[in-house]
Amino acid sequence: MGNACEPSTSGGEVMGANYGRQYKFNVMFLCNHNSCRSQMADGWLRQLRGNASVGVASAGIVGGTAVKEGAISVMKDAGIDISTFTSDAMADFNPEDFDVVISCCGCGGKLDGDKEVWKKRPVFQDWNLDDPPAIDPGDLSAYRRVRDESKAKVLELLDMLSKPYGPQYRKNVMFLCNHNSCRSQMADGWLRQLRGNASVGVASAGIVGGTAVKEGAISVMKDAGIDISTFTSDAMADFNPEDFDVVISCCGCGGKLDGDKEVWKKRPVFQDWNLDDPPAIDPGDLSAYRRVRDESKAKVLELLDMLSKPYGPQYRKNVMFLCNHNSCRSQMADGWLRQLRGNASVGVASAGIVGGTAVKEGAISVMKDAGIDISTFTSDAMADFNPEDFDVVISCCGCGGKLDGDKEVWKKRPVFQDWNLDDPPAIDPGDLSAYRRVRDESKAKVLELLDKVK
């Protein structure tokens, strides 16, 4: 299985110097021909990102042409050289390599059919900037105006990406304790440190309200190499519970989340860690702080491990794709759902009713042609999964009749469908046309499924 919380980048290799897995977030700017607006936005982001771990690329939805001289000129006036930028086609990029997709030209409506996957990335925005050459190709005033508008929007984008939580992350975690002064702050610090490039946002707050962060907590976290001295102590009332997928009560104070506050316990994942309160044990003795610090680290590692799974309680809905051996049809459907779900809280797994075998090379090949890498997917047996972990069960191969006896429980989940897709290897193992047809049929069915379960 893949890692649901890893940042984008489907291939193993590092991408070009300006975007790729070496960055925490990757941004794609699109316009019709990658000749003006997307190029200026690209130039601004490279200039303004500073040390922020934000990669960038730009491309044309229709295709690439030469960069407009007017764009080059006004960006040069602003101290940015885009004269060496190439004008590229969107078709030459993989949407999975990007966390944020910006349509600079109001051309999001052109992202339909096979291109719709670009709108399914964690963040999609349509900036709808004017097209300077269409206003007056020889007058630079329109270029200057759009240049300045794109700068302002890039600054807003960078500000959003600098936040420790938000829609740019696939999952967001809220740590709560009474006053956001100790336990929740240490957990917050650990998650920021330990998440690496996992797409997990984090915040912390006090149920009662915020007070100053305890010096003892600051001290023992500093000993562990983590600086929380600049963290603010905030009140839960200042946050929206709908912004978080996971809520952790660090202090056993879940009982205080009643009445209007009960909504915090209704998020997809709620846990009560019930960590001791170090200041209540001995405010002047750091040993309790150290113990709770280490306990919170262990729990944060467990949490990150759970969030790395492609399915589980961190998702509002979980889908299981079944076929005989989990070697072809269920693997393609699994790949499509991961690609097309965007930020929809839908987990996914696939398995073989009879058992798992190697993923078919034909399936890997045709999915790669569609921009989806399933070469690292494992082929697993249904017996290794618990049917109660899934809300939706799809038999990809018309093999629902095999789900009898002890296996019948799989057909009793809230949603069960039998797609009855053809088996490409059974038609002609050496001919990829059947693989391509079934690949496209499974994509259409996955899109229908997502419309129902989102």
Helix (H, G, I), strand (E, B) or coil at 451: helix
**Which is the catalytic residue, given 177, 253, 328, 397?**
397
Annotated catalytic, 31?
Answer: no
Token pair, residue 421, equals 């897709």
The residue type of 200 is V
Order the strands of the 415-418 sheet from edge to edge: 346-352, 317-323, 392-395, 415-418
Annotated catalytic, 397?
Answer: yes
Give the CB-side neighbour count of residue 80, counting CA atoms within 13 A.
20
Residue 29's contacts (CB-CB under 8 Å, 6 or more residues apart) are 37, 38, 39, 41, 42, 45, 56, 57, 58, 59, 102, 104
SS (H, E, C) 118-169: HHHCCEEEECCCCCHHHHCCCCHHHHHHHHHHHHHHHHHHHHHHHCCCCCCC
Separation CA 89–CA 46 (nearest Å): 20
Residue 152's contacts (CB-CB under 8 Å, 6 or more residues apart) are none
Residue 122's contacts (CB-CB under 8 Å, 6 or more residues apart) are 99, 100, 167, 168, 169, 170, 199, 342, 343
At residue 244's C-alpha, the angle toward residues 4 and 178, to 5°, is 130
Order the strands of the 200-206 sheet from edge to edge: 200-206, 171-177, 246-249, 269-272
**Which is the catalytic residue, given 253, 323, 396, 399?**
323
What distances in angstroms separate CA 181 from CA 236, 250, 253, 256, one per listed residue? 13, 11, 14, 17
Separation CA 76–CA 144 (nearest Å): 11
Q: How many residues does the chain have?
A: 454
The runs of H, that is alpha helices, within 49-139 are: 69-77, 132-135
Order the strands of the 100-103 sheet from edge to edge: 54-60, 25-31, 100-103, 123-126
Catalytic residues: 323, 397
